[in-house]
Structure 1
């Protein structure tokens, strides 16, 4: 499959890692830029306008978590965090802050390409025309504009990341039906993620939290423990 060329920003304080990732992504035809610290990365995002960010967590000064926290206040650009293999809590914290995926160091080229391709593929569909006839879906107080990829709850716009948006649309389009973990993971993340339930739990929690900030009486997404999730179809 010939993927289109993307702009990828690599943020890491180790020049070796930057060279390794950059050379290999360029070999696939991608354009890369690199930053060695958080503040520089946040500035570069505006000028470089990347399609994907590879963000190291352990950096002196401003760490990757803080970069991610600030980034998510103004941008939905997909992010893969780079974490040390020893610390699995980094992975969860990264996902909680709105990362789309993670790579544990040291990683192989195959892992790097697989993660990058999976995340880019997830966002390739962004400009695709909606499959339903109408570009708007309404469910109770929720309104989705599929053409603009925007979501409102009442009069207030909900700011979802790309992954959260894709997941929310899938649930709303299937309101009243229980969607299994495997279905949701395969459709939103890709078939190779079908057993990574943690991704799904974190994304659902973030969606619920964002809806609750606007209307704390709304109980839209129902959990079926061990099975999956459903969006309520009625008011």
Structure 2
């Protein structure tokens, strides 16, 4: 039997919220509707969420502010579903921690497929070694693939699902140079496309900023210009 996930749906339009909840139920998961950013904020701390579907234009707390809070405090995977189709809005959401971005109107089957893709990535690392995955270490970094925790020394980092996957992938092959296309196809599980470079750049920048904040004296990832990324020795 497929694993069931609890998914928070933050959308103020009643018809769209019900439609998204219906898609979630039809895929064997449990939806929780929220109709404002303020209501969603109350739900966030009540349980562990496998995913958040988030509109940006919300009453109460705005979706952009909620997205930043999720990234800073919880690290839940987030798919933004918004009428804002401008490239600037998409990039801003990715920088704030969104794992994916869809514009309205959307296709129901595409929503389901993207949800499955994000959920698959989020649980990828614990499933790779069923007998108890070994800790991944580099300098003072410690990644626990089973608990999905990341520490820089004694400081625990709050990472999004994709930030975690990028870091765990780098630590799993500490001497390997990862091209951006390689990173994208490994972490996103999709064929590399024209916009893939920007997507990788945004998430890598977010990850490096969080690492720098945890330990400003250390540099963990280096850029090999024109080639890609690898762990810094």
TM-score, structure 1 normalization: 0.88
Look up the SS of the partner of 1:8 in the other structure: strand
Deviations 1:177-214 (A, max 9, x none): 21111221122111246652222111111111111113
Match of 1:80 in 2: 79
Match of 1:71 in 2: 70
Check the 8 A contact 1:185/1:194 in 2, yes or no: no
Match of 1:219 in 2: 219
Match of 1:163 in 2: 162
Check the 8 A contact 1:186/1:194 in 2, yes or no: no
> Which piece of structure 1 moves more, 193-202 or 73-82?
193-202
> Which piece of structure 1 moves more, 36-45 or 211-220?
211-220
For residue 51 of structure 1, report the CA deviation from its aligned partner: 1.4
Write out aligned runs for 1:198-213 (5 A): 198-213=198-213
Check the 8 A contact 1:52/1:77 in 2, yes or no: yes
Runs of 4+ in 1 over 4 A off after TM superposition: 131-134, 192-195
Uncovered stretches (5+) of structure 1, i.e. residues with no partner: none
Check the 8 A contact 1:78/1:100 in 2, yes or no: yes
TM-score, structure 2 normalization: 0.88
Look up the SS of the partner of 1:151 in the other structure: strand
Distance 1:9 1:123 in 2: 16
For residue 56 of structure 1, report the CA deviation from its aligned partner: 0.1
Check the 8 A contact 1:11/1:34 in 2, yes or no: yes
Look up the SS of the partner of 2:143 in the other structure: strand
Match of 2:35 in 1: 36
Check the 8 A contact 2:27/2:112 in 1, yes or no: no
Deviations 1:195-234 (A, max 9, x none): 52222111111111111113323232122344321112x3
What is the number of equivalent residue pairs in this alignment?
232
Distance 1:111 1:194 in 2: 17
Distance 1:214 1:46 in 2: 23
For residue 84 of structure 1, report the CA deviation from its aligned partner: 2.0
For residue 62 of structure 1, report the CA deviation from its aligned partner: 1.7
Match of 1:61 in 2: 60
Match of 2:185 in 1: 186
Match of 1:228 in 2: 228
- CA RMSD, Structure 1 to Structure 2 (Å): 2.3
